[in-house]
Amino acid sequence: MIGDGGFAVTATELRTAVARRLRLTVMVFCDGSLNRIELKQRALGYGGTATRLDDIDLVALAGAMGCDGVRVTSAAELEKATTGLATRTGPLLVEACIDPAQYEAQFQGGVAY
Ligand SMILES: Cc1ncc(C[n+]2csc(CCOP(=O)(O)OP(=O)(O)O)c2C)c(N)n1
Ligand SMILES: [Mg+2]
């Protein structure tokens, strides 16, 4: 499990997972932001700076490396996308589109609880 910012700097590891035929499921939580850092910036009174991520089609990115990918926007879609993992022969990327608003509730004075 990884955020979209973290995945942006590690994405090509998927190619190794394909080459090694690893039955790995990589779940990317996509909120278009380095969100916890953005929240810390705002808590310190700065506007968000250099913390937004432009959209990347992660399913297409995975496909370019020979990796299956699926985009989900709900728990039901996630459940459907992750059935049959035990019979897979290679990695699966799950692009999970999430609303970052929930993080703000966990954030008080720049500290994540
Ligand atoms: C290789 C590397 N580069 C930069 C950082 C600094 N860093 C820590 S958290 C973070 C943002 C991560 O954003 P994301 O993965 O989207 O998480 P979110 O808070 O949005 O869930 C960054 C850039 C790091 N830890 N490691
Ligand atoms: Mg993020």
> Which residues neighbour 52 within 8 Å (Cβ) at sequence distance 6 or greater?
32, 33, 34, 38
pLDDT at 21 (0 to 100): 97
Is 35 close to ligand 1, i.e. is its CB under 6 Å away?
yes
Q: What is the pLDDT of residue 109?
A: 58
Q: Is the CB of 91 under 6 A from ligand 1?
A: no
Domain boundaries, position 41: 2-101
Domain tally, the chain: 1
Has residue 70 been placed in a domain? yes
Q: Is residue 20 part of a domain?
A: yes
Residue 111 lies in a domain: no
106 is a domain residue: no
Per the rule left: phi > 0, alpha: psi between -120 and 50, beta: everything else, 32 is left
Task: Identify the nearest ligand to the CA of 1 by its number.
Answer: 1
Strands, E assignment, 1-113: 2-3, 25-30, 68-72, 92-97, 107-108, 111-112
pTM greater than 0.85 (yes/no): yes
pLDDT of res. 110:
57
The CATH number of whichever domain residue 21 belongs to comes to 3.40.50.970
- The answer to whether position 32 is within a domain reads yes
Instruction: Judge whether 109 lies within some domain.
Output: no
Q: Residue ranges of the chain with pLDDT lower than 50?
A: 113
For ligand 2, a single-atom ion, the residues with CB < 5 A are 3-5, 31, 33, 35
68-90, pLDDT tens digit by residue? 999 999 999 999 999 999 999 99
